[in-house]
Structure 1
Amino acid sequence: MKRREFFSKGTKVALAAGSIPFITASCASTNDVVYNKKEDKWHHLGTGESGIVNRKKTTEFDVAVIGGGAAGICAAVSAARNGAKVVLVQDRPVLGGNASSEIHVHLNGVNNIKGKAERETGLIEEILLLNRFENEQESWSVWDHVLYEFVVREPNLTLMMNTQAMEAVMEGNKIKSALCWQGTTETMYTINADVFIDCSGDGLLAATSGAEYRTGREGKKEFDETFAPDEPDGWQMGATLIMESKDMGRPMKYSPPSFAIKYTHEGAHKKRHFKGFQDGIWWIEVGSDNDIIADFEQNRHKLMGYMHGVWDYIKNSGNFPEAETLALDWVGSFPGRRESRRFIGDYIVSERDMTEHKHFEDAVAYGGWSLDEHNPGGIENLSEPPSYFHYHFKEVYQFPFRSLYSKNVSNLMFAGRNVSQTHIALSSSRIMATCALQGQAVGTAASICNKRNVSPREVGQKHINELQEQLLRDDAFIPKRPANDPLDLARKSSLIFGSTTSSGAAKNLLNGMSRDIDGEINHWQSDGLSANVQLEWETPIDLSKVELKCDTNIKRNIMMRKDSRNDELYGNGVPKEMLKTLSLQGRVNGKWVDLGNISENKTRLIKFSFESIKVTAIKIDMTKTYGAENVKLFEVRCYA
């Protein structure tokens, strides 16, 4: 299919590409299922009854999130925690997307900035910390269940697994419903919602809504991009299959399957190295210059052949004697994608926005992975490097809200690799932790849409400060944007002090910056334990919530790695700096009263909630960390 023809086909091509043959091209208007229920001859032996199976259901939600990868999980949880009734629709049997047990990709983020991790906080930090507590053995399948728990424990959130969002039902320029097929129950769901968020990567629902999108690479001229090709073309970065091996302690033979594709490494670029091949080779990849979604099954089969061909080369070429005792222990069957549709918002983020660190008044997320454009031909273009690391960032860049909602579908947002950006910008922002930050932003925005009965565009135009302040309160970080919440009573305190201080100052806990960054200290750190921080008010205040942000050493990455790396940049356990045991007291009529205590804290953002009470002071007593001698805080907030 020619590139121009692909775009002109529109939603019909999109629907065919995701082929599950249970709805017709006209189902958006008729909601008819091809499977004719009148011909279902079900005879129930237990009851002796015969009847027609009714497997059509209609559900109502405030927010529908499509796609259960890092972006979708954070979008759904953030919307639910901020008061919306949410459904998360996931087409796979597990959550996590590329980071799931099906694919085994590291959940990277801005850790590519050399020597300056500046790890993402907010919901993705909470997820990674939860994994360190519940999955000490670093099992990929247990990681799936950690993600599952993170989602299903939310009271405002309904999770639908093994469910494909097939088509959007439109009402003018607004999505009214999503038609979803749940294969395991043979049920067609009509999901009605006020706001839809497509975090599925390929964006089938968004495409069938008529949302504008593009595929391929922009030419240099359109956005003045240094690293773009001279002329636009249809190439998209490919998908990868990972394999992992196990040392059996004795010589292990390997015979490739019939579908293996012979690999010789002849003429391969010098950067196509085999370092760490025991844990997989990311450049076993196949891209496309046409309809990469329609090509998926063909490419999956080829990738399985290339994967076994490369392992055959490692085992049997004689060039890797260290592989003699290795055997394949796990092989991927579902490729991890990097690129397909990119939907058009009110702004398209481009290369120069990132490299020139453009400041956006509507910034809601950030990134910092290098401009890492994979060879579009993948393993079928061996003479080229597997990836062109065009540009390495020295500090993080901002991502604007205007690129996270649709230009022409009024109640549609997106997060992940399908957001409004160029191909070159995608080469950096596609990294999963960056996608997770976008997800938290749009989920929070959706709750504002629901609360104020406004569109995503109106949130960006009229309520962007509210969105940014809520994200900052929920432990997200926005570069160059300190928090200034007018509802935070801690900022109105007349005095704040710590029992001891080894670095920083207690007043830093009120400056709106919840991390040390750009050479500035924004923390208070005790001199030993136990320690406390106290806030005083000249007149009594009504208080029902106290929130603080502790240290989890965001200079060190804690994502799960196949090599279980544990050094200055990566940690494979609970951060020792993290606050473990603390309690809260309030001064009422001159006497201290207990307001709450936590003995096994597992989050960076720590919350106390209690019945409203009038106090003239609060005292946070901190007695234990997970190993550090001192305790460090970055923020204290108080709310009525």
Structure 2
Amino acid sequence: MKRRDFFKKTTAAGIATGMLGFSSTTEAKYKKGKSISTDRKKDNWQQMGTGQKGLPNRQKEISYDVVVVGAGMAGICAAVSSARNGAKTLLVNDRPVLGGNASSEIRVTVNGVNHLKNKHKCERETGVIEEMLIENWYYNPQESYPMWDHVLFDYVTRQDNLDVMLNTQALDASTKGDKIQSILCFQSTTETYYTINAGMFCDCSGDGLMAAQAGAEYRTGREGKAEFNESFAPDKADGWQMGASIMMITKDMGRPVKYNPPTCAIPYEAEKMHDRKIKNFKEGYWWVELGSEYDIIADQEENRDKLIGYLHGVWDYVKNSGKYPEADNIALDWVGSVPGRRESRRFMGDHILTQVDLETYRHFDDAVAYGGWSLDEHCPGGIENPSEPPSYFHSRFKQLYEIPFRSLYSKNISNLMFAGRNASCSHIALSSTRIQATCAMMGQAIGTAAAICMDKKWTPRQLGQKDIKGLQQQLLRDDQYIPNVKTDDPKNLATSASKWIASSTSSGNVDLLKDGISRDEIGIPHHWMSSGKNAELQLEWDKAIDISKVEIKADTNLQRFIMMHKNPAKNKKQVLDVPPELVKSFDVEARVNGRWKTVAKVENNITRLVKTNFDRVKTTSIRLKLKDTWGDDNIKLFEVRCYS
């Protein structure tokens, strides 16, 4: 159902006027002897169009297979993956825009595996997160953050099987035994309380209020060294959590511009600040950060007010200390009002991912995602702890580490999963896994798992025990790379082809397209690349087979960054467009009764994974006529699949 149809139907139907099972929330105590209720009995409404008095319908009940709460990178990837894999899905977000920390409200760069200590350095994430990033360059070459919001909105709302609710906060969860039955949400713009029923719930909201209200076990603060044998953990456990930061963007006015700090500015004492360097004037300073020693969620509003003061204090120092004359023409253009958060609740799964897991590159049989950002723990107290460096960057990785499925579902709530910074990790492990593109892969994993669980009528734990290979293989098919896991799909008819024939080859080998690995490894190719455009690739079978789907994985250069930056100077090593290596247009032909028949045509393709669907044909050969790229002279592929 399309988004507009969804709202028309739910409004017209009236759905439900009762709110059952939420007495603790709908009548929340706020003063001794008094309560606040969700009903509108005191509403004194006279509707002039009808000439009648009445009560507005502000309570509704709706049902889905899967509900995803939180629409940052993790939540979007979870919701899209759930919907694409057949589950009727709802994405709930408490803000008016999508993107979470990456949105225009906060503007944190979508980093991922960027700085490995090996030849590749970058092992970029594919799947849903890559689709969004490439689409942004296609629709938003001007690098506008408000436009990025709309790219994400268009991307999500056009997905079949997926509905979206913005400005909607998940307030409470109604449980029966160890299972969530429904959640209570409030949409501020429509003043409406929604009871949302579902079979599977995914909390990707970061702070995780919905999961906490369901009774899911969680931790906050830092574990001590001894618990997980983590060398970078403090000697004793404590309550410190990594802080939130306020960002800014400036512009060059071409003339000297004065800066008069607001009264809220907190003076910046540069001489006391350990390693807090003012390296540029364009995008702000991530070290304008505040953590908390006990309850960072309760401290958020106070910390936000302080952060705004500290940010203006830093800028006052830049503009008025006399030490930065090169900033004379630079003016503040945007200052965030919503802090970008790093840590609060960490929900406990059947496995807690630790520093030791990451540094030893532990192999998990249930691996579903990966990471590689350094162990980047920020100092307790942030800018109010000036004697310590803002971040320790404890360790960089030589290769990718694996993230297990057991860290992405609740150990005590049977139909709850989570992805992002609230996943089941120690504080030290979180210092790496919290990076947004890594969170996005967790999201794609749990969204795919949620759809499988609904289809099989399993809990996530049962899925992990009964068919983790099925989940991994679906993720691989949907272009989520998993280290040390090869494609092994018995339904893929391409593996039974007797011949693979290429019209030309400049590197790699056509047989590598069926080796089960869809990216080049260091020193090990897994691709075929043509010599020139207008190349052909042909698969032959000894006996006629039925085919209705052909899928390819093309080249987007996974060793090059594609994220959008606040500071354009960081784009020097990027291509600010669709990757030139990516195949742009091709046809799929099938040989039917001895004649070639075009069964699918692809034009202006902007995705690495391209899935074509057509009426089933009986054939002994499939041919790809690869016509053009977005700029490169040759066409490179990593995988070809065929299905009936």
TM-score above 0.5, yes or no: yes
Distance 1:312 1:23, change over 3 A: farther
SS at match of 1:391: coil
User: What is the aligned partner in structure 2 of residue 104 from structure 1?
Assistant: 107
**What's the CA shift for 1:220?**
0.5
The structure 1 residue matched to 2:601, chosen from 573, 597, 600, is 597
Matched, 1:608 2:612: yes
Matched, 1:44 2:63: no
Alignment of 1:401-550 (within 5 A): 401-550=405-554
- Answer yes or no: is the 8 Å Cα contact 1:555–1:569 preserved in 2: no
**What's the CA shift for 1:564?**
2.7
Alignment of 1:173-212 (within 5 A): 173-212=178-217
Distance 1:190 1:35, change over 3 A: closer
User: What is the aligned partner in structure 2 of residue 366 from structure 1?
Assistant: 370
Contiguous gaps of at least 5 residues in structure 2: 1-23
- Answer yes or no: is the 8 Å Cα contact 1:61–1:193 preserved in 2: yes
The structure 2 residue matched to 1:117, chosen from 115, 118, 122, is 122
- Answer yes or no: is the 8 Å Cα contact 1:566–1:572 preserved in 2: no
SS at match of 2:437: helix
User: What is the aligned partner in structure 2 of residue 74 from structure 1?
Assistant: 77
User: What is the aligned partner in structure 2 of residue 54 from structure 1?
Assistant: 57
The structure 2 residue matched to 1:228, chosen from 227, 233, 244, is 233
**What's the CA shift for 1:497?**
1.8
- The residue identity in structure 2 corresponding to 1:87 is L
Matched, 1:267 2:287: no
Distance 1:84 1:403, change over 3 A: same
TM-score (norm 2): 0.94
Kindly provide the CA deviation profile for residues 481-522 of structure 1, in whole angstroms up to 9, marking residues without a partner as x.
Answer: 111111000001001021000111001001110000132100
Aligned equivalents of 1:286, 1:24: Cα separation in 2: 34
- Answer yes or no: is the 8 Å Cα contact 2:28–2:36 preserved in 1: no
SS at match of 1:634: strand
Aligned equivalents of 1:317, 1:66: Cα separation in 2: 45
- The residue identity in structure 2 corresponding to 1:594 is T
Aligned equivalents of 1:567, 1:159: Cα separation in 2: 32
TM-score (norm 1): 0.95
- Answer yes or no: is the 8 Å Cα contact 1:564–1:572 preserved in 2: no
SS at match of 1:148: helix
Aligned equivalents of 2:224, 2:588: Cα separation in 1: 58
User: What is the aligned partner in structure 1 of residue 142 from structure 2?
Assistant: 137
Aligned equivalents of 1:262, 1:417: Cα separation in 2: 32
- Answer yes or no: is the 8 Å Cα contact 2:38–2:193 preserved in 1: no
Aligned equivalents of 2:273, 2:209: Cα separation in 1: 36
**What's the CA shift for 1:22?**
7.3
- Answer yes or no: is the 8 Å Cα contact 1:556–1:568 preserved in 2: no
Kindly provide the CA deviation profile for residues 560-582 of structure 1, in whole angstroms up to 9, marking residues without a partner as x.
Answer: 11223576743322111010011
- Answer yes or no: is the 8 Å Cα contact 2:369–2:403 preserved in 1: yes
User: What is the aligned partner in structure 1 of residue 86 from structure 2?
Assistant: 83
Distance 1:121 1:426, change over 3 A: same
- The residue identity in structure 1 corresponding to 2:303 is N
Aligned equivalents of 2:90, 2:571: Cα separation in 1: 39
Aligned equivalents of 1:191, 1:487: Cα separation in 2: 36
SS at match of 2:394: strand
User: What is the aligned partner in structure 2 of residue 575 from structure 1?
Assistant: 579
The structure 2 residue matched to 1:285, chosen from 277, 282, 289, is 289
Contiguous gaps of at least 5 residues in structure 1: 1-20
SS at match of 1:372: coil
Aligned equivalents of 1:111, 1:565: Cα separation in 2: 17
SS at match of 1:75: helix
- Answer yes or no: is the 8 Å Cα contact 1:372–1:387 preserved in 2: yes
After TM superposition, the structure 1 stretch with the greater mean CA deviation from structure 2, 260-269 or 217-226, is 260-269
Kindly provide the CA deviation profile for residues 230-289 of structure 1, in whole angstroms up to 9, marking residues without a partner as x.
Answer: 1100000000000111110111011111111111212211x2111123211110000001
Aligned equivalents of 2:576, 2:429: Cα separation in 1: 30
Aligned equivalents of 1:22, 1:424: Cα separation in 2: 35
The structure 2 residue matched to 1:302, chosen from 284, 306, 321, is 306
- Answer yes or no: is the 8 Å Cα contact 2:58–2:193 preserved in 1: yes
- Answer yes or no: is the 8 Å Cα contact 2:565–2:571 preserved in 1: no
**What's the CA shift for 1:25?**
4.3
Kindly provide the CA deviation profile for residues 329-348 of structure 1, in whole angstroms up to 9, marking residues without a partner as x.
Answer: 00000000000000000000
**What's the CA shift for 1:599?**
1.7
RMSD after superposition? 1.4
Matched, 1:337 2:341: yes
Distance 1:185 1:22, change over 3 A: farther
Matched, 1:390 2:423: no
- Answer yes or no: is the 8 Å Cα contact 1:86–1:156 preserved in 2: yes
- The residue identity in structure 2 corresponding to 1:496 is W
Distance 1:440 1:240, change over 3 A: same
SS at match of 1:178: strand
User: What is the aligned partner in structure 1 of residue 26 from structure 2?
Assistant: 23
Matched, 1:148 2:153: yes
User: What is the aligned partner in structure 1 of residue 16 from structure 2?
Assistant: none
Runs of 4+ aligned residues of structure 1 deviating over 6 Å after TM superposition are none
SS at match of 1:111: coil
SS at match of 2:304: helix
Kindly provide the CA deviation profile for residues 345-378 of structure 1, in whole angstroms up to 9, marking residues without a partner as x.
Answer: 0000000110110000000000000000011211
Aligned equivalents of 2:53, 2:418: Cα separation in 1: 45
- The residue identity in structure 2 corresponding to 1:260 is A
Aligned equivalents of 1:139, 1:22: Cα separation in 2: 40
**What's the CA shift for 1:26?**
8.7
Distance 1:249 1:40, change over 3 A: same
User: What is the aligned partner in structure 2 of residue 34 from structure 1?
Assistant: 37
- The residue identity in structure 2 corresponding to 1:67 is G
Aligned equivalents of 2:534, 2:140: Cα separation in 1: 29
Aligned equivalents of 1:89, 1:588: Cα separation in 2: 47
**What's the CA shift for 1:411?**
0.2
**What's the CA shift for 1:37?**
1.6
Aligned equivalents of 2:426, 2:54: Cα separation in 1: 53
Distance 1:358 1:417, change over 3 A: same
**What's the CA shift for 1:112?**
2.4
User: What is the aligned partner in structure 1 of residue 175 from structure 2?
Assistant: 170
How many residue pairs align between the two structures?
615
Aligned equivalents of 1:399, 1:366: Cα separation in 2: 5
Aligned equivalents of 1:599, 1:344: Cα separation in 2: 45
Aligned equivalents of 1:636, 1:483: Cα separation in 2: 11
